[in-house]
Amino acid sequence: MKILLVEDETELALSLAKILTQEGYDVTVCHEGNKGLDLALQCSYHLLILDWMLPYKTGLEICQSLRQQETGKSVQTPVLFLTAKDTLDDRVMGLDVGADDYLVKPFELRELLARVRALLRRSIGVELKSHQKIKVADLELEISNQLAYRNGRLIKLSEKEVKLLEFFSLHPQELVTQEQIFEYLWAEEETPSSNVVAAIVRLLRRKIETDKEPILIHTIYGKGYWFGTIDNK
């Protein structure tokens, strides 16, 4: 999942980017507001993490520009503010311009990661609602009906298999980790066994891939999974 981090404190930005990358996220970093707004408009991200005080354009102005029509493109990607401003008026101001969450510096990394996970689940939920059908290669998933087809063949899936296929279908041709899959499929209060992700991937693979059909779910050993066709030419 893709995150844009706009933070002018270089050391903090690099430290956060390293931690988020270790968690399996694809992180883009920039250090000033104008560039941050351009990236948010030009690229598709699942989450924006914005410092409040930035050179040239503040995080508040970035969020306001994204949410309003003045840019010609309203962006509803979740926004998490990082700021030293901790008064009630500041919090209200941030939420009023369209921010989804607010974290006051200094903060604990565990809390940051928990809020990132929560906002990313919300982002994926919004993305799913915007899709009636998702098609990758010759496989099609009907979100509303929870039905999958491959070459016209109906595939019966369990609820968890449907959610896993949703996740894969929204991230085609991307490396996804077991941790990302785990966070998407299970609520934080649930504690399934450690090998549960590999087990459900194996079950889904048996159902969507017959002997004569190209492989769609590829295991990248030590890293995670890749969903889609691979050209071996």
Convert the pLDDT of each residue in 143-200 to its tens digit. 767 788 888 888 888 888 888 988 888 788 888 888 888 878 876 556 566 688 888 9
Residues of the chain with CATH 1.10.10.10: 132-227
Measured at the alpha carbon of residue 19, what is the angle toward residues 15 and 21, in degrees to the nearest 5?
A: 115
Q: Would you give the distance in Å from CA 18 to the centre of its chain?
A: 17
Rounded CA-CA distance 140/216 in Å is 12
Structure tokens at 91: 């919090």
pTM, rounded to two decimals: 0.59
The CATH code for residues 132-227 is: 1.10.10.10
Q: Would you give the distance in Å from CA 122 to the centre of its chain?
A: 9
Pick the CATH number of 2-128 from 2.60.40.10, 3.30.1490.100, 3.40.50.2300, 3.20.20.80: 3.40.50.2300
Structure tokens at 158: 């369990």
Rounded CA-CA distance 202/27 in Å is 29
pLDDT at 132: 61
Structure tokens at 197: 């992700």
